[in-house]
Amino acid sequence: MRRILKKGIEHKKARWGWFFVLPSMAFFAVFSFYPIVNALYTSLFRKRLLSLRPPTFIGLENYEYLLKSPDFWNSIKATFIFTLGTFIPILVFSLLLAAFIMSRKRFQKFFQMAFYSPAVLSSVVAAAIWLLILDPRGLANMGANFLLGTKGVDYKWLASANMVRFSTILVYFWKYIGYFTIIYITGLASIPQSLHEAAKIDGASGWKDFWHITIPLLKPTTVLVSIMSMLQCLKTFSTQYLFTQSGAPLEPINVITLNIYNTAIRDHNIGRASAMSIILFIIMLFFTWLQFKASRSGGEVDYM
Amino acid sequence: MKIIKGQSLLVDVIIWALLIATALLILSPIVFMFTASLMPARDIVKMPYRWIPEELYLDNYAQAIRGNDGSYIYPRNILNSFIVAGLVSVTTVLLSALTGYGLAKFPFKGRNLVFLLIMATMMIPFEAIMIPLYLVATSLNIQNTYIGLILPFLTNAFGIFLMRQYLITFPDEILDAARIDGSGELSIFWRIILPNSAPAVATLAILTFRSQWDNLLWPLLISQSEEMKTIPLYIVKFAMEKHTNEGAMMAAASIASIPILILFITLSKYFVSGASLYSSRKG
């Protein structure tokens, strides 16, 4: 009798469980899984936006075209320059800033807030502010001239190929450094105080403690920050879009997302844009897989 | 907590100086936005830059709202941003709480698979599916509507994960007691679960609002008329104009930033907990 009752309750619970998860599952089916499958399918067709002709099946031709296209390789190059150029400095500086903040007894909260504030602004607003700062007559030239001891030199922040790459990196670095600083602070706070005390008793200096205790124990946070910032950078769009829309050269900052957008919306080439989307998806899957692998093999740290 | 032990006064002073200098550097572009929004265009490029405007030049704000020829409808675009970000926050919180609750408290066959599938959607970047989504929106004929702007963002894996983690430790005794008292499952969710998840709900609502306030790509694809544009599209329009008034552009950017900065200053702990949540993602 009791068992039957219990079984009845479990059955009822299971039904409610499904009831609660079903709306979201239906949502993901339509707005996540279907589109990615659809992108894969469309990437095998010659398909044009607004065209009345039915799409023609062309197999892997879109991919073949892309792999031979200098324009596509330029996008890969632009994306990777941006990603590496952004996430490595973010990794180093957010760790340093977090350590500095944690070493203070006062104003920790204030510094966290100050560093984090650009991250709450819209990326379009951030890009618009920097557009003016990087203007030939703007603050960036003034600051650079002051620091480098030059006079009246225009550093062409938004005009020369390398400088415009550097400028997009600068905007991103500025916007997200505080975000990752906070993640590092959480990581630092989770290291038991007793370990630092033990190191102190053993005679380790502040820097030795930092190098031999803090950094190794922070490995899970470092893995997390690298992958998160890398994935974030691979998806960058707004800054590059706004900069090119206001006249910066396209080629050096034609990142994959911008290329997908232009190929689909400006050139109406849906098939090719889909193939590019799938390649972006695969690149990001690879990095996510790398994260799992890295966090499995010694990513977990045992404090004991 | 000491990570770098202050070995001497010198080290201490250097660290303070570095922190203060970094804070000033990081804040200066934001200060620049607000001060430039209060200056005539010629003063913005006058060197050295005046960090304190001599007079409050409010014409920029008038121009940001109306445009040079009075044809801009910034207030409407701001309203759109509030509507879209507000509605998306509500649906995200409700759907994520519902699903997170189901995953946390109701054992059913295939629950782990469902959870895994939801987490897998985190790996599908919006940028890779925007074109198919755009085609879906066109075939449903919802481009240029609020429904179209909202539909792809009704909920997300991060929100579900957040709610599940939060609710997994919720005491079962309370739920069972409510059941014995004869409460239905939906009323338990509405009257017990939702009110008791306030911190998680607040974090999720704020993060969702912020990310929708920031959304450029999707409105760029489906908002066609000026009436359906959101703030980011309006700023892009400003930046694209050849002889744009820099002061008015910064005024538009300031208006776009004030609501989100007020949220940040008053509710900063939710922003911070949202950021640090990622580091406990493994749980």
Domains defined along chain A, listed by start: 57-296 (1.10.3720.10)
CB contact under 8 A, A120 and B210: yes
Over residues A163-174, the pLDDT tens digits come to: 999 999 999 999
Nearest CB among A111, A224, A234 relative to B278 is that of A224
B110 φ, ψ (degrees, to nearest 5): 85, 10
Contacts of B84 (CB under 8 A, 6+ apart): B146, B149, B150, B212, B215, B230
- Distance (Å) of CA A301 to CA A92, A221, A295, A297, B58: 20, 10, 10, 10, 56
Residue B179 lies in a domain: yes
Residue B240: closest C-alpha in chain A: A246
Residue A220 is predicted with a pLDDT of 81
Residues above pLDDT 70, as percent of chain B: 94
CB contact under 8 A, B129 and A39: yes
* Under-70 pLDDT residues of chain A: 1-5, 295-304
Nearest CB among A114, A119, A120 relative to B23 is that of A114
Residues above pLDDT 90, as percent of chain B: 65
- Distance (Å) of CA A232 to CA A6, A84, A290, B125, B244: 48, 12, 15, 10, 31
A249 touches A159 (CB < 8 A): yes
Alpha helices by DSSP H, chain B:
9-36, 41-44, 59-66, 74-105, 111-120, 126-139, 146-150, 157-167, 172-180, 185-188, 194-196, 198-213, 217-222, 231-240, 246-266, 268-277
Amino acid identity of residue A187, one-letter, is G
Q: Mark whether B27 and B160 lie in a shared domain.
A: no
Task: List A residues 133-192 in contact with B (Cβ-Cβ < 8 A).
Answer: 133, 135, 137-139, 142, 174, 177-179, 182-183, 185-189
Domain that holds residue B46: 9-58
The residue behind tokens 């996510």 is A288
Beta-bridged to residue A45, according to DSSP, are A57
Q: Mark whether B82 and B199 lie in a shared domain.
A: yes
Q: Is A42 on the interface with B (CB under 8 A)?
A: yes
Residue B202 lies in a domain: yes
Residue B126 lies in a domain: yes
Residue A8 is predicted with a pLDDT of 79
Nearest CB among B36, B276, B282 relative to A132 is that of B36
Q: pLDDT: is B128 or B242 the higher one?
A: B128
Q: Which residues of B touch A270 (CB under 8 A)?
A: 131, 135
Q: Mark whether B135 and B25 lie in a shared domain.
A: no
pLDDT range class, residue B6, cuts 50, 70, 90: very low
Residue B198 is predicted with a pLDDT of 92
Q: Mark whether B196 and B141 lie in a shared domain.
A: yes
Residue A69 is predicted with a pLDDT of 94
Q: Mark whether B18 and B118 lie in a shared domain.
A: no
Residue B250 lies in a domain: no
A41 touches B127 (CB < 8 A): no
The minimum CA-CA distance between B258 and chain A, rounded to whole Å, is 9
Nearest CB among B102, B235, B261 relative to A17 is that of B102
How far apart, in Å, do the first and last CA atoms of chain A sit?
49
Q: Mark whether B20 and B133 lie in a shared domain.
A: no
Q: Which residues of A touch B271 (CB under 8 A)?
A: 116, 120
Amino acid identity of residue B261, one-letter, is L
Q: pLDDT: is A220 or B276 the higher one?
A: A220
Across the range B87-100, mean pLDDT stands at: 96
The minimum CA-CA distance between B62 and chain A, rounded to whole Å, is 18
| Spatial CA neighbour of A135 closest among B41, B54, B163 | B41
Residue of A12, A20, A202 best to disrupt the B interface, most CBs of B under 10 A = A20
B254 burial type by CB count under 10 A (0-12 exposed, 13-18 middle, 19+ buried): buried
Residue B131 lies in a domain: yes
CB contact under 8 A, A280 and B131: no
Residue of B84, B108, B267 best to disrupt the A interface, most CBs of A under 10 A = B108
| Number of compact structural domains in chain B | 2
B263 touches B209 (CB < 8 A): yes
B150 touches B84 (CB < 8 A): yes
Residue A3 is predicted with a pLDDT of 63
Q: Mark whether B91 and B207 lie in a shared domain.
A: yes
pLDDT range class, residue B281, cuts 50, 70, 90: very low
Q: Mark whether B99 and B125 lie in a shared domain.
A: yes
Does this complex have an ipTM over 0.95?
no
CB contact under 8 A, B272 and A112: yes
CB contact under 8 A, A238 and B216: yes
CB contact under 8 A, B235 and A97: no
Residue B193 lies in a domain: yes
Q: Is A204 on the interface with B (CB under 8 A)?
A: no
Over residues B175-194, the pLDDT tens digits come to: 999 999 988 899 999 999 99
For residue A85, give the 3-state DSSP assignment. helix
Residue B41 is predicted with a pLDDT of 82
Over residues A71-109, the pLDDT tens digits come to: 999 999 999 999 999 999 999 999 999 999 998 888 889
Q: Mark whether B50 and B179 lie in a shared domain.
A: no
Q: Mark whether B29 and B101 lie in a shared domain.
A: no
Q: Which residues of B touch A13 (CB under 8 A)?
A: 106-108
Q: Mark whether B19 and B119 lie in a shared domain.
A: no
Task: List A residues 61-90 in contact with B (Cβ-Cβ < 8 A).
Answer: none
Q: Is A278 on the interface with B (CB under 8 A)?
A: yes
CB contact under 8 A, A206 and B6: yes
Task: Measure the CA–CA gap between A303 and A285, rounded to whole angstroms.
Answer: 31
Residue B86's CATH number: 1.10.3720.10
Q: Is A284 on the interface with B (CB under 8 A)?
A: yes
Residue B255 lies in a domain: no
Helix-strand-coil percent breakdown of chain A, rounded to 5?
A: 75, 0, 20
Q: Mark whether B101 and B197 lie in a shared domain.
A: yes
For the cut 70, the answer to whether the pLDDT of residue B278 exceeds it is no
For the cut 70, the answer to whether the pLDDT of residue B212 exceeds it is yes
The minimum CA-CA distance between B245 and chain A, rounded to whole Å, is 11
CB contact under 8 A, B216 and A124: yes
Q: Which residues of A touch B152 (CB under 8 A)?
A: 31
Average pLDDT over chain B, rounded to an integer: 89
The minimum CA-CA distance between B53 and chain A, rounded to whole Å, is 16
**Angle between helix B198-213 and helix B74-105 axes, rounded to 10 deg:** 140
Q: Tokens in use for A141?
A: 């030239």
Nearest CB among A30, A36, A133 relative to B128 is that of A36
Dihedral angle at the C-alpha atoms of B19, B20, B26, B30, nearest 10 degrees?
150
Residue B108 lies in a domain: yes
Range with lowest mean pLDDT among A11-15, B45-49, B68-72: B68-72
pLDDT range class, residue B272, cuts 50, 70, 90: confident
Q: How many interface pairs between A and B have CB atoms less than 8 angstroms apart?
A: 306
CB contact under 8 A, B108 and A131: no
pLDDT range class, residue B270, cuts 50, 70, 90: confident
Task: Measure the CA–CA gap between B188 and B191, rounded to whole angstroms.
Answer: 5
CB contact under 8 A, A205 and B5: yes
For the cut 80, the answer to whether the pLDDT of residue B5 exceeds it is no
Residue B279 is predicted with a pLDDT of 53
Rounded to 5 degrees, what angle do the CA atoms B49, B52, B57 make?
Answer: 95
Over residues B11-38, the pLDDT tens digits come to: 889 999 999 999 999 999 999 999 999 9
The residue behind tokens 């070493």 is A103
Q: Tokens in use for B141?
A: 């004929």
Q: pLDDT: is B223 or B49 the higher one?
A: B223
Across the range B254-267, mean pLDDT stands at: 94
Residue B33: closest C-alpha in chain A: A129
